[in-house]
Structure 1
């Protein structure tokens, strides 16, 4: 299955218990809406949700225009562990997260391993009256039901810089972007050039050509490299150093071979990197051969990297869906298809 890692930041002006409550409410809404969701192709999707809390390390990696980031820390590992013991339709908290909650506020079950399944909210910790029953998710549901859910439905004023808008339109734009306030901060601080470093090159090419990103959406013949590295046990800052070195080496080899590093994943203890050959603007006749040669070079280079215990790479070629996916205010470029899954299985099988 696929996994999403969502983060809520708690600052000095807020209580962690209130943040965790918001996360629990969000998780329950997701379960209510998508606990069992049947897709257009009659595939039933089921959701498991795990919640943890604590301090994380957010670390940019890479150099030049080939930047990415990783998020590491004990809460990530605890969330992964909680997800592994979670069943479809559940919202499960780690013992660490539950320690910050008021148990009376929730209909819950405490398990023998310390994890807690939350079934519903009884009282809202934000209320001054601690005995006032929770009134439901009205405000939160209203917040997620915006008048647009696809790129075509985004109001035109969201595409215009705030400096070119009237005061009234600026207020309206700020209200529409209430779901993702960081977009406003990015515009106000003029950090567009910095964000470019974190975009893959086919997307940048479309942006610079003033072409809709939807033009990148297509079924396409590509070659996939799925790379996994097993790092040596050590503290999290040391792990970040290993990831950074591995990522830079991989990017250098891949881009010399006309490939693209699409993702780096550090959700568990291993490091996984997804590389794609044959994307728009990076197509060439011998891409399958280039992918194999690239895989050999990467394995040879990363195997000798300090802190790396093992390297495994799966290589496949075939048709995939390529395109920009996600909510209009939070999107990413990805590749989806059987050959991506096969590359991942090969990577895991032959280690």
Structure 2
């Protein structure tokens, strides 16, 4: 089963989608697969799951008090979060989460990784390797954990010469935003090129024109979506509306055409910004190429919102109104799983 069009407005408003059948390409029916949007929170460490097909919302109470970065693994029906609590700085995995069918579920952690993290900002997964971007004042590191049947082991610690935030695997390459800047970096063949503890340098860094300060990124269907948090502190009148998302179609060829240290022109992007977007501090984003929809974790506006925008790659640069506007205090990261 393939979900070809999907946008969730369920508990947020209205939900609509279309689906394709192998027997009849013109058939439109209720999907019976899986389409879940997971969201973490700084406020309480809980995980909220929005079922995009049934319009149901489940809130999982975890043992974390603060979380940023999440990944869902269908193999054992688990999600893994990067815990940022004062005494809990590790990966935490919760297994068989779908067994909880009530609106709110209290979970016990099944797997806890080594307490190596200090300030995790994002989580990217390739096979059995879980990579955490960790950003502190004096240390910017990529922690590479390997998940085995017995839990997580710290495979390697990689020191990076720039502040980290969002990270994203695209095939074997790892893309990373350069925090406090408008730059995007790539570590080519990340896992195979960095097999032990080391200080590493990005293969290439480019300026993404139009961004003030980037945080989140997501890639799907050769489209990269990045976020711009602009004013990082609540010191300006437009703090909660000065953010944006940048949509870059045909990303691979555009990025490859820019030399190291060069600029990816704004004319090669779609910038969605303006007061009506409610984007002030969009810290994380996921993009669904089938639906051409971007789901955004907006931290500043209203204290936290899950927003969604449709037809983002076909828009021209300018303002837009989110078709999803769901309050979620302290929202910090998102993950979309479809099957």
Question: Normalized against structure 2, the TM-score is what?
Answer: 0.29
Q: Which has the larger helix fraction?
A: 1
Q: Which has the larger strand fraction?
A: 2
Larger radius of gyration: 1
Question: Normalized against structure 1, the TM-score is what?
Answer: 0.28
